[in-house]
Structure 1
């Protein structure tokens, strides 16, 4: 009985899902030429699975994005923005 219980405990430990981390990055966004551009950038980012909070600043030409790193990554974020017509990269 003890062996059976130990096997269940081990099985539960090894079959547990890996927990994802929430990350926040700042992306430089080029070609924003008017106050309406951030709306387009935000809409493009909101379509990426795993994206949570989005703040886009026309004045700073950047986007602050919080996302689930198990569902997406920086490359997917920049591709989404570029697909909307705005080249972007991770801000250092």
Structure 2
């Protein structure tokens, strides 16, 4: 049973790293977020972009971390999405 669990975990890790291959992570500085609802609005705008797999927005640091498929979305599309939602953003870091 222990070998079966170990094999399952190894397979899952291999599959998840294969899925993550080719994805990029960008950190955006998001301006003029001034309430607790703002990050929700920014996150939803980012998640509407095809190719975005996750968007985490932090009110305290005024930053968004977005994981996306560069074959389907661009950094410009991400910053345009936040701007269209009323929150200008600029790239802090791309990985």
**Shared fold (TM-score, shorter chain, > 0.5):** yes
Aligned to 2:33: 32
Q: CA deviation at 1:53?
A: 1.1
| 1:21 CA displacement | 1.5
User: Which position in structure 2 is the counterpart of 1:7?
Assistant: none
Secondary structure, aligned partner of 2:53: strand
Q: Deviations over 1:38-61 (max 9, x none)?
A: 000001001100000111000000
Partner of 2:46: 45
Shift of 1:69: 0.4
Moved over 4 A (4+): none
Match of 2:79 in 1: 78
Q: Which has the larger radius of gyration?
A: 1
Q: Gaps (5+ residues) in structure 1?
A: 1-19
Q: Any gaps of 5 or more consecutive residues in structure 2?
A: 1-20
2:28 is the counterpart of 1:56: no
CA RMSD for the aligned pairs? 1.1
* TM-score, with structure 2 as normaliser: 0.74
Query: Secondary structure of the residue that 1:65 maps to in structure 2?
Result: strand
Inter-partner Cα distance in structure 1 for 2:86 and 2:22? 29
Q: d(CA) in 1 for partners of 2:69 and 2:48?
A: 13
When normalised by structure 1's length, the TM-score is 0.77
